[in-house]
Amino acid sequence: MFDGAHVPAALTMGYMDHHAVRNVEGIDPHLSITRSAAASPLPLPPILLLHGFGSSSRMNWTDTGWVRFLNDAGRSVIMVDLPGHGDSAAPDDGGAYAPSRMRADILQALFDERVVPLRDGDPASGVDIVGYSLGSRLAWEFGATQPEIVRRMVLGGPGTADPLASFDLEGAERSLAGGAPSEDPTTADLLRMAQAGDQADLPALLAMVTAIKTEPFDPQGAVPRMPLLLVAGDQDDYTGGIEDLRAWAPDAAVTTLPGRNHTNAITSRLFKDAAVEFLARGR
């Protein structure tokens, strides 16, 4: 759900074409949307980058070199900070954090960025997606419900289980108030990584957990049918069931990252290379 890896900000300067905080559908959340165009773009769709829980577009994609790498490969990118993350607002409305609402806001953000549905004869139509952790869950559901706009997807750190659905909210709140850590090791791990983020809005993150619990992840109930690449570190404890995801999807492959876990897989050069190669293919 997280990635705390950083590189110096100076290494990422000059790659952001524009950044805006926009009013999506006339109501909260005000989502932070950043677009970065390639200097020599290929005739391919933009790539939507979806970060993990407790992270941000900057932490997952800019500081780790993904934006620079994709731009150098001729790909333009669109990044959306989820509500309560990064530079996006933290709405008081708990419904803004529900997965279905976030997917609707992401769709509106793509329309705002002039992404058009897939069209025969137009190789730049539609959008490719790279998601990580929670971003992969949202991408899986988005691809299943919006097949007319999604061409290909790369999902990093995916699994069939939803660690946020079993998150110990009471234990997390007690820990944040100065009490003992949650006895649930997954909750303690997720909370520790969330607190490591320099832009973490912890009340908003707990509101998102509450909302996600109302919409459990059901990957077999709605399966994306476009080509998928599922990527996971061989030491990632959050990717149980990845082979089930591959079996359920009609056109999916798996890439394993040796020596990587859920925190540092996002920084892997093998991950980047595999994503660029996979997303360069036709439909």
Q: How many domains does the chain have?
A: 1
The CA-based angle 108-215-175, given to 5 degrees, is 105
Entry pTM:
0.88
Q: 43 exposed, middle or buried (CB, 10 Å; 0-12, 13-18, 19+)?
A: exposed
| Residue 18 binned pLDDT confidence (cut-offs 50, 70, 90) | low
CA distance 99 to 105: 10
Residue pointed to by tokens 């009013």: 23
The answer to the question of residue 28 being in a domain is yes
The answer to the question of residue 195 being in a domain is no
> What are the residues facing 3 on neighbouring strands?
none
CA distance 79 to 58: 9
The answer to the question of residue 47 being in a domain is yes
The answer to the question of residue 83 being in a domain is yes
For residue 121, give its domain range. Answer: 9-165+202-279
The answer to the question of residue 107 being in a domain is yes
The answer to the question of residue 189 being in a domain is no
The answer to the question of residue 177 being in a domain is no
The answer to the question of residue 150 being in a domain is yes
CA distance 280 to 162: 30
Tell me the per-residue pLDDT of 105-155, one tens digit each, with 9 for 90 and over.
Answer: 999 999 999 999 999 999 999 999 999 999 999 999 999 999 999 999 999
Strands 47-50 vs 127-132: parallel, antiparallel or unpaired: parallel
Q: Output the pLDDT for position 282.
A: 85
CATH number at residue 137: 3.40.50.1820
Q: pLDDT above 90 covers what percent of the chain?
A: 71
Beta strands in 64-149 (DSSP E): 77-80, 127-132
CA distance 141 to 247: 16
